[in-house]
Chain A
């Protein structure tokens, strides 16, 4: 089976940097994705890591360590609109690239 663990809630100040961690267990790891979901909205794709290291996309960066079964999403220069839930998700090659999600981290950005 698969399991992904994330902190349930994080609060950070506008303009600051926040890191959301994800640890996973899966039998056939292929890659780790991150999605953002605003209240009442659909999840939207943010980033993907298949190899170890850091991927940067604007204010957002994502990191993966395959040996540690660990990744994180880094959000810089936080804005109020970044308040949302963030989900990590594993692509599992044993399931022909099935996609399993973590329980999500609710980020609240305060002034």
Chain B
């Protein structure tokens, strides 16, 4: 695709429900990142996929968070039993890989837990 696409753009959910966020990276990009950004804050690393290597899950804040990636395409971030502190914008980025430094971000999913 032309850019990184994330869906939904906005999600309001009740505390305790599960949510699934989707990221479609740019075609051909082997690297994919998920970040969480709370209002006025920086980008908090969550998880990193690079090709067929084991993902770096070191940023996931709890076992309620998980992510999958199908080959070098779509990724889904799942948050189980959502809590109010999960409210944030979840950003996905992809990068071609190798020596290419530039990462391209989607517009994010704004998650509100009520």
Q: Which residues of A contact B (CB under 8 A)?
A: 31, 33, 41-45, 48, 50, 87, 89, 91, 95-104
Whole-angstrom distance between the Cβ of B103 and the nearest chain A Cβ: 6
Q: Is the CB of A95 within 8 A of B48?
A: yes
Q: How far is the CA of A87 from the CA of B103 in the complex (A)?
A: 13
Q: How large is the interface on B (under 10, 10 to 19, 20 to 34, 35 or more residues)?
A: 20 to 34
Given contacts A101-B42, A103-B41, A103-B42, contact A96 B53 (CB under 8 A): yes
Q: Which residues of B contact A (CB under 8 A)?
A: 31, 33, 35, 41-43, 45, 48, 50, 53, 56, 58, 91, 93, 95, 97, 101-108
Q: Is the CB of A98 within 8 A of B45?
A: yes
Q: How far is the CA of A41 from the CA of B42 in the complex (A)?
A: 13
Q: A42-B91, A45-B101 are in contact. List 13 more A-B contacts (CB 8 A).
A: A42-B107, A43-B105, A44-B105, A50-B101, A91-B101, A95-B48, A95-B56, A97-B31, A98-B33, A98-B45, A99-B103, A100-B45, A102-B42
Residues in B whose Cβ lies below 8 Å from that of A95 = 48, 56, 58
Q: Is the CB of B91 within 8 A of A33?
A: no
Mind listing 26 A-B residue pairs with CB under 8 Å? A33-B101, A33-B102, A41-B107, A42-B106, A42-B107, A43-B93, A45-B101, A45-B102, A48-B102, A50-B101, A87-B42, A87-B43, A89-B43, A95-B58, A96-B50, A97-B97, A98-B48, A98-B56, A99-B45, A99-B48, A99-B93, A99-B95, A99-B103, A101-B35, A102-B42, A104-B42
